[in-house]
Structure 1
Amino acid sequence: MKTVIALFDTAADAKYAVDALLLRKYDHSDISVVANDLATLHEAPPHAGQIAAGALSTVLGLAAFGVPYAGPVLAAGPILGALGSVGAEDVDKSDWLAPALVKMGIPQGEASKFSEAFNRGGAVVTVRTREIDAPNIASLLAACGAVDVDERVRPETRRRSTG
């Protein structure tokens, strides 16, 4: 099994991606969502087309909680178990999401990047799948608006004054 991960700008974008996964018959028990942009949760992204709204409520096990570095957070799916096994001392760190992502099979370096990007706002979607299906899921998530996590965590280049 492999875990595919994607970052979205808003919870609404993540919800759109979850809808697309569910419409393609991926099992909701393999899909996780973590979002801290809860204000957009009930919005439909402009590219949503005919996708049905409300897929996050379809994903079993919704939970809301507060995290010092991320504020209010909504999580659903297998990531809840991974978050539950993270120690309290890790939740108080800025890299709080990374240990849960590692428990789900995401390599440490990638998990840290996604944790940092998540703290800046947005949502993370993971999908546990067979190795052979991983490229298709990654393409689907990209088509649903996943953002480049490397671009998101890259420090802004400083501009030198020319005057």
Structure 2
Amino acid sequence: MQTITGLYDSYDDARAAVRALEDAGISSDDISIVTNKANGAEVEGQGSYAAEGAGTGAGVGAVAGGAGGLLTGLGLMAIPGVGPVVAAGWLVATAAGAAAGAIAGGAVGGMVGAMIKEGVPEDEANFYAEGVRRGGSVVTARVDETRLAEARTILHQSRPVDYNARRASYQAQGWSRFDETAQPYTREQIDAERQRYGSNRV
């Protein structure tokens, strides 16, 4: 299995990517979505859960898609440095475990640590976490190598941001890596980000 990821300015685009992956036969158990709460995402199902301890993962369990698909299991949690997010899938449980491990052993925790654990390069994991901090949505899927090209095409068809261009833009603003101790973006800062990239859709 390999892990592929897409960052979306629009929650609707991220949601479309999840549904397209499911429609292609990729199990909900192998898909995750994490979106900044400011992105207009609503908890669609009954799978709400709280991340006690400001995102340390206390009490957060895996949220499986079940018969209704991954999006019926959306719940609200907090991620240090990001703030409130709406999320579902395996990455949520992995992030909780990574955060607990970071507290115990000084490892990289939270969303970045969870992605690294699943094979996402550290620099990319930092970028995706920063993208969520700035108001975006991340879709991550674990797929068999035989379906890698198909899954990448699905993510691309849902209009993800251009990784290289967006990363270069972040770096031009002085960014180097995701900082869990930083203050989450305010609504005004997120709106400014959307205007910067011409992505006013939610």
Q: TM-score per shorter chain, which class?
A: 0.7 to 0.9
Indicate the residue corresponding to 1:34 in structure 2: 34
Q: Among the aligned pairs, what percent are the same residue?
A: 31
Specify which of 22, 47, 64 is matched with residue 76 of structure 2. 64
Indicate the residue corresponding to 2:162 in structure 1: 148
Post-superposition CA distance 1:66-86 (Å, at most 9, x none): 234212111211102211112
Once the two structures are TM-superposed, the CA of residue 108 in structure 1 deviates from its matched residue by 1.5
Instruction: Identify unmatched segments of 5+ residues in structure 2.
Output: 43-64, 104-108, 174-202
Indicate the residue corresponding to 1:73 in structure 2: 85
Once the two structures are TM-superposed, the CA of residue 39 in structure 1 deviates from its matched residue by 4.4
Dislocated runs of 4+, deviation >4 Å: 88-91
What are the within-5 Å matches in structure 2 for residues 4-153 of structure 1?
4-41=4-41, 58-59=69-70, 61-87=73-99, 96-153=110-167
Post-superposition CA distance 1:51-108 (Å, at most 9, x none): xxxx9x72164331123421211121110221111225969xxx84211111222122
- Seen in structure 2, the aligned counterparts of structure 1 residues 116 and 150 have a Cα distance that, compared at 3 Å, is farther
Structure 2: distance between partners of 1:105 and 1:78: 14
TM-score calculated relative to the size of structure 1: 0.75
The code of the aligned residue for 2:10 comes to: T
Once the two structures are TM-superposed, the CA of residue 150 in structure 1 deviates from its matched residue by 2.5
More helix by share: 2
Once the two structures are TM-superposed, the CA of residue 38 in structure 1 deviates from its matched residue by 4.8
TM-score calculated relative to the size of structure 2: 0.62
- Seen in structure 2, the aligned counterparts of structure 1 residues 106 and 139 have a Cα distance that, compared at 3 Å, is same
| RMSD value, Cα | 2.7
Q: Is the 8 A contact 1:35 1:122 kept in 2?
A: yes
Instruction: Identify unmatched segments of 5+ residues in structure 1.
Output: 43-54, 158-163
Where 2:119 maps in the other structure, the secondary structure is coil
Determine which structure has greater relative contact order: mean sequence separation of CA pairs < 8 Å that are 6+ residues apart, divided by chain length: 1
Structure 2: distance between partners of 1:38 and 1:120: 9
